[in-house]
């Protein structure tokens, strides 16, 4: 098999040829056809997350040490499986759910793999989908997406399920309420699409890039805000008529957190999803007096992936712009993403690669 691997953090990925793994027990070998490129791959590539105040969280401290293969938006064809893998057939086209937990602890037993403290995520803690082949530990992590475009289906594994899970953390809305989507990259645009699919119409998209705001409008955002305005918080409050019930932040930097928290109505909820980094300094009494809350949202669970795929199958979920490129251009894709030149999602095409 051919993989594009991180050999050294922050340096171009290298094409590596290895023996194709043989599935054992419950394992399934998937031949990758499409593999989405996610913004969080940039952090994994760099090898750390910025915790603010000069502090960093290093991937190597969680056992993620080069050489390794990134890629957590896998779509492909079942090629082989172990003797104990039930309910799976060769030739089936499937999304691979990447947010895999230990499978044994109470949260995993409840189907909340993404709350497991010993996660073994695809493309993070185990080899990922920037590869012609991917070994999946159990057939339960394969999701049928028949009828959905393959590149779009791949992106549902992270950007789709992450947006869906974040939107599900928005509390019940009244008729006047608005929701702000802060950051209209691949995941933010999917959130606009999920909100629309769920019938939530009062959506204001926020970004610093006019092209991304235009894409958000096309997907159903009623209003947009260029957050470079010095009085962006007041502008956001005004656009929502004082009824901003939720702000979902797909950037996650101090400025976007202050924007989201600052613009909420009383009782509002700020859902933090982006991992850009930094730290938050905010007056504590405001949480009490304004009855606001801050909730984190990390990827999503298998059931949520199935639900977002169901929306896509029913054509209720519009895809964000997709740019499919040959797998050989994996490094360009990462560079373009880093420079903010990607509108929507880049998806790598592995079909042309022979291994
Ligand atoms: Zn991702
Ligand atoms: Zn677990």
pLDDT tens digits along 56-71: 989 888 778 899 999 9
Pairing of strands 345-349, 28-37: antiparallel
pLDDT(193) > 90: yes
Count the alpha carbons within 13 Å of 279 in the hemisphere toward its beta carbon: 8
Separation of alpha carbons 22 and 24, rounded Å: 6
**What are the tens digits of pLDDT across the range 288-321?**
999 999 999 999 999 999 999 999 999 999 999 9
Write out the H or E segment, with its range, that includes residue 106.
Answer: helix 106-109
pLDDT(355) > 70: no
Distance of CA 255 to the CA centre of its chain: 21
Phi, then psi, of 37 in degrees rounded to 5: -110, 115
Separation of alpha carbons 173 and 143, rounded Å: 31
- 45 CA → ligand 1 middle, Å: 12
Q: What is the mean pLDDT of residues 237-242?
A: 98
Q: What is the mean pLDDT of residues 215-228?
A: 97
pLDDT at 49: 86
- 66 CA → ligand 2 middle, Å: 24
Q: What is the DSSP letter of 61?
A: G
- 318 CA → ligand 2 middle, Å: 33
- 113 CA → ligand 2 middle, Å: 6
pLDDT at 61: 85
- 161 CA → ligand 1 middle, Å: 9
- 125 CA → ligand 2 middle, Å: 14
pLDDT at 73: 98
Average pLDDT, the chain: 96
- 37 CA → ligand 1 middle, Å: 8
Which ligand is in closest contact with the Cα of 38? Answer: 1
């Amino acid at each position: 098999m051919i993989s594009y691997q991180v050999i050294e953090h922050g340096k171009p990925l290298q094409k590596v040829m290895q023996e194709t793994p043989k599935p054992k027990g419950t394992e399934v070998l998937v031949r990758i056809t499409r593999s989405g490129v996610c913004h969080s791959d940039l952090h994994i590539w760099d090898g750390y997350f910025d915790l603010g105040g000069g502090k960093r969280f290093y991937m190597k401290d969680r056992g993620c040490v080069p050489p390794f293969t990134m890629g957590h938006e896998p779509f492909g064809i079942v090629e082989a499986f172990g003797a104990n893998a039930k309910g799976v057939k060769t030739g089936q086209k499937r999304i691979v759910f990447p947010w895999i937990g230990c499978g044994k602890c109470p949260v995993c037993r409840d189907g909340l793999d993404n709350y497991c403290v010993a996660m073994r995520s695809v493309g993070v803690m185990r080899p990922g989908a920037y590869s012609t082949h991917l070994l999946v530990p159990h057939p339960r992590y394969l999701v049928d997406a028949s009828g959905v475009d393959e590149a779009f289906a791949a992106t549902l594994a992270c950007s789709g399920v992450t947006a869906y899970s974040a939107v599900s953390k928005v509390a019940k809305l009244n008729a006047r309420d608005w929701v702000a989507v802060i950051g209209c990259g691949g995941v933010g645009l999917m959130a606009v699409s999920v909100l629309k699919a769920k019938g939530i119409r009062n959506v204001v998209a926020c970004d610093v890039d006019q092209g991304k705001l235009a894409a958000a409008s096309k997907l159903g955002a009623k209003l947009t805000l260029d957050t470079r305005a010095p009085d962006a918080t007041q502008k956001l409050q005004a656009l929502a008529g004082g009824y901003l019930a939720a702000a979902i932040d797909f950037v996650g930097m101090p400025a976007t957190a202050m924007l989201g928290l600052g613009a909420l109505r009383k009782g509002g909820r700020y859902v933090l999803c982006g991992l850009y980094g930094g730290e938050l300094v905010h007056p504590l009494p405001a949480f009490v007096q304004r009855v606001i809350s801050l909730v984190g949202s990390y990827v999503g669970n298998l059931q949520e992936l199935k639900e977002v795929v169901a929306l896509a199958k029913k054509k209720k979920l519009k895809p964000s712009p997709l740019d499919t490129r040959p797998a050989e251009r994996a490094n360009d894709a990462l560079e373009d993403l880093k420079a903010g030149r990607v509108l929507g999602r880049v998806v790598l095409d592995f079909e042309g690669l022979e291994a």
